[in-house]
Structure 1
Amino acid sequence: MTHTHPHTHTHTHALTELDCNTKGNYFADMLLLLYVTTVSCVLFGGSSAEFFEKRMCYGRTLRLPFSFTPPLFNGQLYFTPKKGGSRKLVMDKDEAKDPRLRISIGSVELTDLTERDEGTFSVSVGDAMPYDVIKLEIVECAYKMYRNYGKSYSYTVPRQTEFVEFTPLHREDLPRVLWNRTDPQANKGSRWQMKGSIWEIKSVNQADSGYYNFRKKDNTLLSRKRLTVKENNRHYYTNMNERLLIQNPTFVATWTVTFTPAGEVENNTLMEAGNLVTDDRRIQIMPKGIEINPVNITDSGTFEFRDQQGHLAQIVIVEVEDEPPPSVLHPYVYIAIIGGIIFAVVVCCCCVKKCCCKNSSSKRHESAPETAAAPAVYYHAPKAATKRRHLMGNGMPLFPTGQLRLERGERGAMTCRKHRRSELNPRPLHQGLSLFIWACALEG
C-alpha cells in the first residue's frame, strides 16, 4: 500500500496552475508579436510599395488605403502643404484633427478637397520618424463658361442645392455665400438672383469671374462652374480725312476711354467718367460713341472703354490708311460690260434692218400703179454676167442715172429692177448702197 504525502498533491496542483498561466501568457505574447510584426511590415518593411500618387478633382473625397485605417493602424497621420508651410497633425490614432476627416473601422476619408489640400501625407508609429505615403494633386474639373461684358449668365441648379458659394479667380481663400435657401431674400435686388431652380447673374463684369459651387446642406459639392468674363471687341478700317464714329458698348453707362497709339505703350485719356478731357478739336462726344472728324494717320491704335469700377468693357482697334485703295472691279464685271455692248450692237442692227424693210415695203406700195402700166423687165442672163451687169456698166456705176430696187415677181420670185429717181424718195447714195448691192447679189 502506497501512501502519498499531502504536500506532494499540493505541489502538483500548483505546477499545473502555473503551466496554464504560462500557456495563456504565451498566446497573448504571440498575438501581440503578430500585431507588431504586421504593423512593422506595413509601416516599415513595405514602405516603398505603399507610396501613392493621386490626382483628385476639387470637392471630391480622398480615401486612405486600408493599411492606414483603425484598428490596424494606430499611429499618426501628418500633412505638409505643397505651397509651403509647417507640417500639421491630421489624425492621432483614431482621433480626427481636421473637421473634414471622417474616421470609422476600416475607413479614413478626407472630404471636400480644395487647393489647400495639395501636398504630401505622411505617417508614423510611436516615436518613429514620419515617412511619406501619399502625394496629392488637386485638379480643376469645373465646367468652364464664358460671357462678354454686360451679358447675362444663367444655370439650372441641382435639386438639393441649399446654398451657392463663390470664389474669385486666383483668390481661393476668399469664398463667400451668394445665396442661401434658409434666407433667400438676403440678396434681393442684387444682380444675383435665384428664380425657382435658375441661378441668374445680370450684366456680368470681370468681378463675376470665378468659381460657383452649388452645395448640399452638409456642404457636399453638387456642382461646380467656372465663369470667365471677357471684354467686347471692335475693329475699324478707315482712310485719312474721313469721318469715324467709334461706338460705345451696347448698354448705357458712364465710360472712361483711353487711347494707345499704334507701336507705343503709354496711353492717353480721351474721356473720363463721360467727360471729354482732350484738347483735340477733331474729337467729339456723340450719343452713340466718339466721333473723330477728320481722321489722321496718328489715330491708328487701341481705344479702351472702362466702367466706373475700372472693369474693361470694350477694346477698339483702329487702322487708318494713307490713301484709299484703288477700286478694282471683279473680272465678271468686265465680262458683263462687254456682253452688254455686244447685245446693244445686235439690237441696234436688228432695229435698223427692220426700219429699212418697212421703208422698202411702203415704197413698193406707192409705186404699184406705175409699175402696172409699165411691166417690169426681167434679166435672164447667166448669174456671173448678171452680177457684173447689175453691179457695174461700162466701168461706171449704175446709180447716177437710176437706182436698183428689189421686187417680187410671179411665183414669189425676187428681181432687181432699175428705176428712175423720180420713182423713189431721194436718199443719199452712201446710205443705201450697201443694202441694195447685197440684195441684188442674192438675187443673182
Structure 2
Amino acid sequence: MDMFLLSMTILCVLFGSSVTLITSKGCVGKRYLFPYSYTSPAFKDQIYFTPSKGGPRTLILDGSVGKVPRLQVSKASIYLTDLTEEDNGVFSISYGHDYPLAYDVITLTVSVCTDSVTKTYGESYYCKIPRQAEFLDFAPHLSDTLPKVLWNSSDPQTSLGGRGQVRGDSWEIISATQEDSGYYDFRGKDRKLLSRTLIKVEGKILRNEKYVGEVLIIRYPSADSAWTVDVKLEEERKYINLVNAGIVVTESNPEARAFNGRVHLLHDGMQITLLETRDSGTYTFKDPQNNLGLIVLLEVQPAPTSPKAPLSALLIFGIVVGYISLTVICFCCAWKCFEKWRSSDNAQAAHQTETALPVYYHNQNQSSGQSHSYQPVPLGAYGDTAAYSFEPPDYDTVMNSLQPEVEPLGGQGGTPAPSLGSDCLSSDPGPRFELTGLTGPSAPPLSSDSTACGVYSSDKLNYLSGAL
C-alpha cells in the first residue's frame, strides 16, 4: 500500500511538472477562447470549472461534448460566450476517468471592459445588441448623474423620444453630438452587466492657410442650426464672440471691432473678407445646444512679393498674342500675293484678247539680205468690213519655205509687196498662193500697181515654177 501511494505521488509530481498554468483575462459580455491543445477531436479528457468566490467544481466539457449552454464546441475551437463576473475562477483538466486528480491549467479573470469609440459631430453610431441583453443604460461622460435607461426589451415605450433607437438587433444613433458622449451598458436579467461602450463625440477639425487680402469661407457642419462662432487669436488668451446664434455681433462687441464689416453670413456658412495676419487663430462653431461641431485652425500669411507668377502669366499671354498676330500677318501677306498674281493673269489675258492676229509678209528678193517682218493688224483696221481672220498656210508651202534660198533665174529683181485694199477683203477673206513667172492666158499680170488680197508671193515658188 505504501509503495502504491509512493508511486502515485511520484507520477503526479512528474506529470504535474509538465502542465503549464495559463493566466487569462476576459471582458464582461465578450467570449473566452480556450487554447488549441484542448480542442476536439485531439482532446479526449474532461475540463472542470471552480469559481473564485467559492462553490462546487463543475464539469463543463467531457471529451467533445459541452456540459453548459454557453460553451460552444466545434472541431476547430472551444469558447465560452457572454462572460460575466461570475466566470472568474480556475479551469482544471482530468486526464481520463481512471485518474481521480484534476490539474489546474487555466486561471480566468473577468472584469468590465470598456470599448472606446470616437465619432465626429454629425456621424452615426451602430452597435449589435447582445443576445441576453434586456436593458441599455446610459451615463454621460465625465458626469455624476445617474444612469438613464434608454431601452427595455419588455417595455418598447422606454426608448421613444430618445436620440437612439433599436432597429432589428442593433442600437443606432443618428447624427451624434456631444450630448451622446458617455457610457452605454447592456445588461441582462438581474441587471447583470453584459457589455460597456464609451462613446466620445468630437468636433471636426479643419486647417486652412490663406494670404493677406484673401477671403475665407467656412461651411457650417449643418445648415439647419443657428451657429455661434468664437475666435481665439494667436495673440489673445480668450475667445472673442463674432456670431451669436446666427447674428453678427462685431459692431456691438468691442473686442471684435477688428472684424467689423468683414464678417458676412451665408445660407450655409460664413465668410471673412480682407484677411489680415492678426486674424490667425482658432475658430469654434457651436450649435444652439452648445455642442462643438467644428474647429477651424486659420493661419494668414503675408502676401507673396515674388513677381514670378505675374511674369509667367504675362509671358504666356504675350506668346499667345504674338502667335495669333504672326498667323494673321502671314495669312494677309499670302492673300495679298495671291490677289496680285490673279490680277496679273487677268490683265495679260485681257491684253491677248485685244491684240489682233499678225499678217506675215515674205520678201521676194532674198538676195538683198532683208529679213522677214510682220506687223500686227488690229481688228477692224479695214474700215467697217468684217474682222480679219487668218488661215494657216498649206503644208507644201511651209516645207518649201524651209529650203535654201536661191537667186531666181533671169536676174529678176525684188517685187514690191502688194498693197491691200478694201475691195479684196470683201471678195476673198483668206490668203491665196500664186506662182509668178508662168506665162499663159490664166496668169495674172504682175505689176506694182496690181492689187492682191490675201496673196502670198515668194521667190522660192517662182524658182520652182521656172524649173518645171
Q: Give TM-score scaled by structure 2 length.
A: 0.48
Highest CA radius of gyration, 1 or 2? 2
TM-score (ref. length: structure 1): 0.50
| Bigger proportion of residues as helix | 1
